[in-house]
């Protein structure tokens, strides 16, 4: 199989099959890069495609649940309400107290602005109609409350605090939503290599519910027909060991129909997030 110029810059199953075949024939990454450049690929993009295609699944957070109904998260006993294996999803109860939910929302409120999404072409950020919430980021360990919650989550998920991005708080007013998407960074996009420099791929997400709307606003997993109701103090965790749709980690925030929904999202990286 050859790599025709019209396939340049598009990650199709054919391109991925070509990469796998070259590797199985013993060709080096340098040889593959040379062939891809000759077919019109930019070096960075080609490198990302090769790495993404050949990469074995990476370790991901794996809360030690067993058949326990509760997990000791250090300063709090967290309830296990639901778990499934493919995709790996866990719904937790009692992760945050009412006071912690209120304090996060009140500290975040004056800093909210319209949420952005990653601009895949550049690695920067952009406004996107698919995401109509307002949001803000705390930096990691920004204050005593954030510090305490981050330590609890690290213990709950058995994943180092340093590998977590700062908590992001989101407010959804009626009509606001986050259309289904993947949280990992697409290896085929030209902006991805620069994003990955800060801690590697995202490998898991924890969405903490700070305030429940009166109607709507479920976190949905369309590949498996699951809808998680946003109950205050609860959280939904899911992991993805490859930046690939086969992880079934497609998920979204359904439109809020009445009232306000508030969440805090913690994204977990492979390595230390700087
Ligand atoms: O607020 C949600 O339910 C939601 C849904 C999908 C949040 C995110 N994604 C996210 O923050 O990535
Ligand atoms: Zn998401």
- pLDDT tens sequence across 82-136: 999 999 999 999 999 999 999 999 999 999 998 877 777 777 777 787 788 899 9
Q: Is residue 60 part of a domain?
A: no
Q: Report CA(252)–ligand 2 centroid distance (Å).
A: 6
Within-domain flag for 99: yes
Would the CB of 256 count as within 6 Å of ligand 1? no
**For the residues of 54-73, what is the DSSP string, one character each?**
HPPPPP------TT-SEEE-
State which H helix or E strand residue 239 sits in. Answer: strand 235-239
Q: Which two tokens stand for residue 254?
A: 């359904």
Q: Are residues 88 and 184 in the same domain?
A: yes
Identify the top-confidence range among 3-17, 59-73, 242-256: 242-256
Residues 128, 77 within the same domain: yes
Please give the Cα distance from 240 to 88 (Å, whole number): 8
Rounded to the nearest 10°, the torsion over CA 176, 140, 69, 237 is 40
What tokens does 223 get? 């590949």
Number of domains in the chain: 2
- From CA 23, how far away is CA 31, in angstroms rounded? 10
Residues 243 and 159 in one domain: yes
Centroid of ligand 2 to alpha carbon of 39 (angstroms): 34
Closest residue CA from atom 6 of ligand 1: 252
Query: Tens of pLDDT along 150-205?
Result: 999 999 999 999 999 999 999 999 999 999 999 999 988 888 888 999 999 999 99
Ligand 1 lined by 263 (C-beta under 6 Å) = yes
Q: What is the CA radius of gyration of the chain?
A: 20
Domain extent for 17:
5-54
In a domain, 149, yes or no: yes
Closest residue by Cα to residue 39 from 2, 4, 1: 4
Please give the distance, rounded to the nearest whole angstrom, from the Cα atom of residue 67 to the centre of ligand 2. 27
Are residues 134 and 246 located together in one domain of the fold? Answer: yes
Task: For residues 12 and 125, state if they share a domain.
Answer: no
97 assigned to some structural domain: yes
Domain shared by 49 and 74, yes or no:
no
């Amino acid at each position: 199989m050859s790599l025709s110029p019209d396939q340049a810059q598009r990650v199709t199953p054919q391109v991925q099959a070509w990469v796998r075949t070259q590797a199985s024939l013993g060709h080096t990454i340098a040889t593959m890069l040379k062939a891809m450049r000759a077919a019109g690929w930019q070096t960075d993009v080609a490198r990302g495609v090769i790495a993404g295609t050949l990469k074995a699944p990476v370790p991901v957070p794996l809360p030690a649940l067993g058949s326990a109904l509760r997990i000791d998260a250090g300063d709090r006993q967290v309830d296990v309400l639901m778990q499934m294996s493919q995709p790996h999803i866990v719904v937790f109860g009692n992760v945050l107290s009412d006071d912690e939910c209120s304090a996060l929302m009140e500290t975040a409120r004056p800093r909210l602005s319209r949420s952005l999404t990653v601009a895949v072409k550049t690695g920067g950020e952009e406004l996107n109609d698919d995401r109509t919430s307002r949001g803000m980021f705390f930096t990691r360990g920004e204050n005593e409350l954030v510090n305490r919650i981050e330590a609890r989550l690290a213990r709950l998920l058995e994943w180092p605090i340093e590998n977590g991005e700062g908590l992001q708080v989101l407010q959804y007013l009626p009509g606001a939503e986050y259309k289904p998407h993947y949280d990992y960074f697409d290896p085929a996009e030209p902006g991805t290599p620069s994003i990955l420099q800060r801690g590697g791929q995202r490998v898991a997400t924890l969405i903490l519910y700070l305030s429940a709307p009166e109607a709507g606003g479920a976190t949905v997993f369309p590949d498996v027909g699951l809808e998680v109701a946003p109950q205050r103090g609860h959280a939904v965790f899911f992991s993805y060991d490859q930046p690939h749709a086969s992880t079934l980690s497609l998920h979204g925030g359904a439109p809020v129909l009445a009232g306000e929904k508030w969440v805090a999202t913690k994204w977990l990286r492979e390595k230390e997030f700087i």
